[in-house]
Structure 1
């Protein structure tokens, strides 16, 4: 008889499962498969967010939400989510976002600075204060995901998807487009996304944080589209494309984290005068490093530009 004492463990955060689309699928069937994949990722991370306030579970739930909203944007010319549901999605994103921002500051940005500078003393109380903000906001996120409002949102999305609720508000031309082959639709989406990214990317040199943010959003949307439709194309075509996009997005994300950190540190300074010196030191450090990633970013951009969107 097994008498070993067993302790509950924190559930592992769940990333998106591999999505398999058939070239024979029509647009409507492919949309349902993509949305189901996104909803599965969101729902799989509920326990980690509610019971354990797990940092990575929250992150993966947010990724699932971003993927879902990106999918809705890709298909919005042929079907549309009701306005009320879009507003509820916006509410959920707003409940989860602040905790993630403070997680990055407390768990990534500040530890990286502490590891690279000698003046540790003023950083410690700032990091503790940031961790406290993150913990408090995890409680807010957990309350939102445990709420009846969240359950209603997920339930309505599930029913809208299963019952193909978009059909009630469609024009005849939209119904025809929903029956077209997903391969043709995907090709048009990927080409459109890549053109938008290339247009914004031309302004990367000497770009300010806002311009870099716009490139990051375009790279993210292009990457999600490529991942959604990856099974429709040869791996040797898709994998280098997605890998290059991921590297570009990651570097832009690090730059964006530094920009966001400045605003969060200002909030800490305003709330507690004892943190002003430490916050000012960190903000100065981040400002001084502001241009150091430009060289790497340009290299990543040059690596991406020769690649063509799968199609």
Structure 2
């Protein structure tokens, strides 16, 4: 079997009992857990590699439960990364239908919920200070809304919908339900050959998105950013260091554009809660718009020349 470094023992514990323990002892092992490297044997079949990566991603999600329940911002970020890494793997293997649509849909839902909380964290940690600061009422309301999102995530982790998702993922992984013996699939092929094909497709997808960039549509840059992130995750999974710096730089450039886009939406949300501060919030949105206009040509040049 392929080896992975981060323990996955928690997937064998019923989710309700696991989160119940964390609720009783909220600071027990409450620290952020980053992705561990995935080690795959040189002679491994692709099914072994796929299984190791799945377990690695789910271990990252489970490992951050204590920190999220304790209100740790970085733990929530790392939990979201674990979900996104798993979804990147599933996207690369989507032609083989590795996961039932119902479970995949729940995983998408969970990622969106984590993203909403993370957006507020980024807004408070970097975006708002980068605008030169704000008045005390604006910052206080932003912190209150961010806190509500974290409490919402804590409730989700302890609720029936998340419990059902985690149990489905555990069953899907431990019983290897991603295999379909009735279909011709790559699970018994050389992992190195299959991974090379997946990486080539991921690179071609990024290049295609870069060529087709529509400067009039923010969604075009957003889709390129997602494609870049997926290629980067795949290269990390399979130990391919080529293009790693280019992809990291692209993620940073495109990420700043996306953070600004999201922040403008959050400023409008703040307007709904602070009508007396509409002028201030409109000014901050204008500053953000100016920053976006300044960064857009750089992002487009980078994408077309480097990707």
Q: Which range, TM-score by smaller chain?
A: 0.7 to 0.9
1:254–1:10: structure 2 CA closer, same or farther, 3 Å change rule? farther
1:183–1:251: structure 2 CA closer, same or farther, 3 Å change rule? same
Matched, 1:137 2:159: no
Query: What is the correspondence of 1:88-237 to structure 2 with a 5 Å cutoff?
Result: 88-114=106-132, 123-167=135-179, 169-174=180-185, 177-204=186-213, 206=215, 208-230=217-239, 233=240
Structure 1, 88-97 or 98-107: larger mean CA deviation: 88-97
- Determine the C-alpha separation between the residues in 2 that align with 1:189 and 1:26: 14
Q: Is the 8 A contact 2:58 2:86 kept in 1?
A: yes
- Determine the C-alpha separation between the residues in 1 that align with 2:111 and 2:30: 22
- Taking structure 1 as the reference length, the TM-score comes to 0.83
Larger of the two Rg values belongs to structure: 1
- Determine the C-alpha separation between the residues in 2 that align with 1:296 and 1:127: 30
Deviations 1:216-269 (A, max 9, x none): 011011111111111xx5xxxx1x511210111121111101011111111111
Map of 1:18 onto structure 2: 37
Deviations 1:139-162 (A, max 9, x none): 000111122432332222122112
**Of the candidates 49, 59, 80, which is equivalent to residue 40 of structure 1?**
59
1:166–1:208: structure 2 CA closer, same or farther, 3 Å change rule? closer
1:54–1:303: structure 2 CA closer, same or farther, 3 Å change rule? farther
Deviations 1:153-178 (A, max 9, x none): 222212211211233x443422xx21
5+ residue gaps, structure 2, are 1-26
**Of the candidates 60, 63, 67, which is equivalent to residue 81 of structure 2?**
63
- Determine the C-alpha separation between the residues in 1 that align with 2:52 and 2:82: 14
1:163–1:286: structure 2 CA closer, same or farther, 3 Å change rule? same
1:10 Cα deviation from its structure 2 partner: 7.8
- Taking structure 2 as the reference length, the TM-score comes to 0.85
5+ residue gaps, structure 1, are 1-7, 115-119, 306-311
- Determine the C-alpha separation between the residues in 2 that align with 1:202 and 1:123: 42
RMSD: 2.1
